[in-house]
Amino acid sequence: MLNVFAFIFSEFMDVFSKSISISIRNDLWYHYIMKKRGDSMIYLDNAATTKPNEDVIQTYTQMNQQYFYNPNSPHSAGIKIAHLLDKARENIKQYLNLKDPFNIIFTSGATESNNIALQGMAKAKKRFGNTILTTKMEHPSVLETMRGLEDEGFNLKYIKTTKDGKLDILSLQELLNDDVVLVTCMHVNNVMGQIQPIEEISRILKGYPKVHFHVDGVQGYGKVPLDINLADSYSLSAHKFHGLKGSGILAIKQIKSIKQIIFGGGQEQGLRSGTVNAPVNIALAKAMRIMNDDMEDNAQALSQRGKEIRAFVEQYKGVLINSPIDAAPYILNISFPGVKGEVLVNAFSKFEIYLSTTSACSSKKSSQNETLKAMGLSNLVIEGSIRISLAPDLTNEQIERYKDAFDKVYKEVKELIKYEL
């Protein structure tokens, strides 16, 4: 049917070509093809980024048109936008159910939030201790920051990971002592979806009052419930919950004791100098409100879709499911041992189905994924892994098309699959 419409459209354009300039004709053809591609595309890489909500885009546009002022300017227009930002902060605290003394710092995203929290608190607490703890399953913005602190003289120790991808509580307890000042752990793993035991970690750390507990909440917010008040700081990126890229937050308790790592005009209570991007920050608050309003419906849809896709994949001999059964249902990591993950991504792309190998922040690196290595998976399994990450608006028709494409890809590569590992 698409080919028929394309032919008719092409004929139509040829008939009227004499009265329409070449540039206009090309623009019309381009928009026609892009619309059809948008209708046919199946996007399964939502752990990398999500499609911005139309209302969020509208809010951002209106803010840029009507309230483009610098919130640090002393005139009435600057003061007005500063008040709007303060209101956005209060709303965000409500959406996250945060109690005092949490403060909201606007950032460019969770990478910056993680850097501010981890570097700032480690350096502020160095006179009390020199040991910092994390796992090898963290996002690169956490792992590389912690390794950077190690280069500066901190004693970095890794908490062990269980085979199902959870932080090993016994290992944490063995590593804790009076020299530990910082512990960081993500809420939901971005590679295979495991939900980390944040509540239990927080309970244990109450016996170590010097320790700052940071949680990277990027993949969990709005989908997996969490009492964020259990952490001392918490990071988010708006583009992971249908907001805009280039915006995020750091929610932090001990704001007066943290050491600043960015210097300049002293914006964001001295922690994040630079002109505050009011339009994108207010759009972030709008995205959070929408996410909160739809939270129950989204959770139900994601659970249903995730279970359906998981059950479907389980039918295929040789294809392994790396995501534990108790992981978040919207992130599914699977492996075709013996087939390169990049080959699988390209094979699905031919059907206009877009998924990923691992984290988008590290998928182009040649080194193997540290999360899957920490789970004890073999090199063959890791190299053949891909990640499917869902959005709540995935339709039944799209799922059926995905299943059909999966079956075709499987038949193409099944001779390469290594069944005995």
CA gap 108, 88 in Å, rounded: 16
Give the whole-angstrom CA distance, residue 272 versus residue 284: 17
**What burial class does residue 234 get, using C-beta atoms within 10 Å of its C-beta: 0-12 exposed, 13-18 middle, 19+ buried?**
buried
Exposed, middle or buried, 222 (CB in 10 Å: 0-12/13-18/19+)?
Answer: buried
| Contact residues for 311 (Cβ-Cβ < 8 A; gap 6+) | none
Which of 390, 327, 386 is closest to 359 using CA atoms?
386
Alpha-carbon distances of 389 from 37, 206, 299, rounded to whole Å: 20, 34, 14
Q: CA-to-CA distance for 252 and 149, rounded, in angstroms?
A: 20
Q: With contact defined as beta carbons under 8 Å apart, do 8 and 319 qualify?
A: no
Which residues does the annotation mark as catalytic? 361
| Residue 269 to residue 215: CA distance in whole angstroms | 21
Q: Rounded to whole angstroms, how far apart are CA atoms 289 and 56?
A: 10
> Residue 220: how many CB atoms within 10 A of its CB?
25
The Cα–Cα gap between 73 and 251 comes to 25
